[in-house]
């Protein structure tokens, strides 16, 4: 499995299902029909892709746009970005400031506005709201479930197989401990630095 095959699976899972639960099941079923080596390949591409999102600037974008700073939540947010497909993921990881331009993000921010329509939407369709949240924790466990099904072994063996190939995860991101794989740390309270690094997001916040 190469990187194109990996992204094809991610994107097909979104097209062929209509809920997150179904999407995870689809991916687990698809991988479970493949040799163990392909499951390991998938996991390696997943980890490599997720690491690409483990940057201080993307964390800052997540922090400012959604007003959330949970380190676990940031990892689940990166999973969600992966779920949006290759083109979107690469655009935002290449330039985290583009996060504020995503239709999915603008939709979520619109729902947060204190209007009668958004309040009505939240009350009427809580399940849909859960489906739209910018976090997708279970997507990160797909390969582990498939590995366990196919091998009957502890899924920790998948991580060991990846480590043997020299691939390890960059999460959790812990800036206070210096665990920032990509990008230098900066003070999120520094308005000038924020405007320099994330000008689109800064303009949105000032509206």
In the chain, how long is the greatest CA-to-CA distance?
A: 55
Question: How far, in Å, CA of 201 to CA of 100, rounded?
Answer: 6
Return the SS3 of 144.
helix
DSSP for 11-49?
HHHHHS-SSHHHHHHHHHHHHHTS-HHHHHHHHHHHHHH
Place of tokens 């399940």: 127
Residue with more model confidence, 127 or 70: 70
Q: What is the pTM of this model?
A: 0.90
Residue 116 is predicted with a pLDDT of 46
Residue ranges covered by each domain of the chain: 3-206
Query: pLDDT at residue 81 above 70?
Result: yes
What band does 17 get if pLDDT is binned at 50, 70 and 90?
very high
Place of tokens 């097209």: 15
Q: Can you read off the two tokens belonging to residue 191?
A: 């308005």
Spatial contact of 125 and 111, defined as CB atoms under 8 Å apart: no
pLDDT tens digits for 159-207?
899 889 988 887 777 665 555 555 678 888 899 999 999 999 999 987 7
pLDDT tens digits for 83-133?
999 999 999 999 999 999 999 999 888 877 765 455 545 545 667 777 889
Residue 24 is predicted with a pLDDT of 98
């Amino acid at each position: 499995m190469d990187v194109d095959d990996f992204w094809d699976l991610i994107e097909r899972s979104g097209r062929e299902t209509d809920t997150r639960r179904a999407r995870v099941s689809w991916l687990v079923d698809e991988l479970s029909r493949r040799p163990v080596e392909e499951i390991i390949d998938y996991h390696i591409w997943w980890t490599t892709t997720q690491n690409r999102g483990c940057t201080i600037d993307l964390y800052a974008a997540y922090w400012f746009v959604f007003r959330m700073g949970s380190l676990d939540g940031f990892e689940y947010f990166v999973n969600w970005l992966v779920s949006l497909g290759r083109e979107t993921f690469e655009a935002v990881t290449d330039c985290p400031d583009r996060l504020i331009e995503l239709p999915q993000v603008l939709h979520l921010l619109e729902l947060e506005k204190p209007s009668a329509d958004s309040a009505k939407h939240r009350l009427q369709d809580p399940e849909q709201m859960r489906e739209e949240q910018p976090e997708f924790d279970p997507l990160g466990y797909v390969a582990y479930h498939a590995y366990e099904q196919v091998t009957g072994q502890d899924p920790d063996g998948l991580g060991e197989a990846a480590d043997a190939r020299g691939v390890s995860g960059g999460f959790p991101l812990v800036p206070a401990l210096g665990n920032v794989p990509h990008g230098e740390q900066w003070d999120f309270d520094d308005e000038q630095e924020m405007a320099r690094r994330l000008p689109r997001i800064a303009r949105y916040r000032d509206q």
